[in-house]
Amino acid sequence: MKKTIVCFSIICASGLTWVSIYNTVIDAQSWGFDIPASIQTARDYFQHVDPRRFYTVVGPLTEVLVLLTIILFWKDAVSLRIYFAISFLMYAAIVVLTLAYFVPRDLILFRAPIPDHLEQIKAAAVEWKHMNWLRSALGLAGVLFSFKGLETFYKTAEKKTLATRREKLHGQILQGSHSENDKST
């Protein structure tokens, strides 16, 4: 079960990271191409459904899954807790950055009256595009730390399995040599 949880957290975090990269490469380029017309087009496009809906569902789900991962792997190696905790901190940093930096710019881009805030909208579009690379990098770092934790789990499990096999084999060899000694006496 715990491997399934960590895999789902990696899937969700990877999805968020790729969507964030898509937003930077495609959406932000479109929004900033021909302001004010491009902003109005984006506003019209997002009138009924907006990407924030995706983030508000998958973002918290990812956070919960990573917290569950930390809890489920708590009794395993300390390094696992560290990797998964760093992953969680990366995702938490994304939330803080989103609330503190991106939400105010989103309000300027998608809510402020265009004629009265044209220069602010232009500045917000450029700032949004550049800082979203940082948000994407934090997401990628979180995913990589989760993968490192999963890899460490498998390596640790493999070592335990090999040690158990060696002990069994050693016990069988000793038991076999005792049986031969009993036969010779």
Containing 111, the helix (H) or strand (E) segment is none
Please tell me the predicted confidence (pLDDT) of residue 183: 61
Residue 147 has pLDDT above 70, yes or no: yes
- What sign does the dihedral 134-138-143-144 (CA atoms) show? positive
163 Cβ contact list (under 8 Å, min separation 6): none
SS3 assignment, position 152 = helix
Across residues 101-122, what is the average pLDDT?
A: 94
Residue 28 has pLDDT above 90, yes or no: yes
Residue 46 buriedness (CB in 10 A; 0-12 / 13-18 / 19+): middle
Across residues 160-176, what is the average pLDDT?
A: 71
Mean pLDDT of the chain: 89
Sequence-ordered alpha helix ranges (H) in the chain: 2-22, 28-31, 37-45, 52-72, 78-97, 103-110, 118-184
Question: Measuring CA to CA, how many Å separate 112 from each of 15, 23, 45, 57, 163?
Answer: 30, 20, 16, 25, 64
Q: Which pTM does this prediction carry?
A: 0.83
**Phi/psi of residue 114, nearest 5 degrees:** -60, -50
Please tell me the predicted confidence (pLDDT) of residue 51: 79
Please tell me the predicted confidence (pLDDT) of residue 180: 58
Across residues 47-72, what is the average pLDDT?
A: 89
Helix axes 2-22, 118-184, angle to 10 degrees: 150
* 55 — pLDDT class (breaks 50, 70, 90): confident
Across residues 66-80, what is the average pLDDT?
A: 93
**How confident is the model over 135-144, as pLDDT tens digits?**
999 999 999 9
Could you identify the residue written with the tokens 């807790």?
81
CA–CA gap between residue 28 and residue 110 (Å, rounded): 12
Residue 175 has pLDDT above 80, yes or no: no
Domain assignments of the chain as residue spans, ordered by start? 2-150
Residue 56 vs residue 101, higher pLDDT: 101
CA–CA gap between residue 143 and residue 86 (Å, rounded): 10
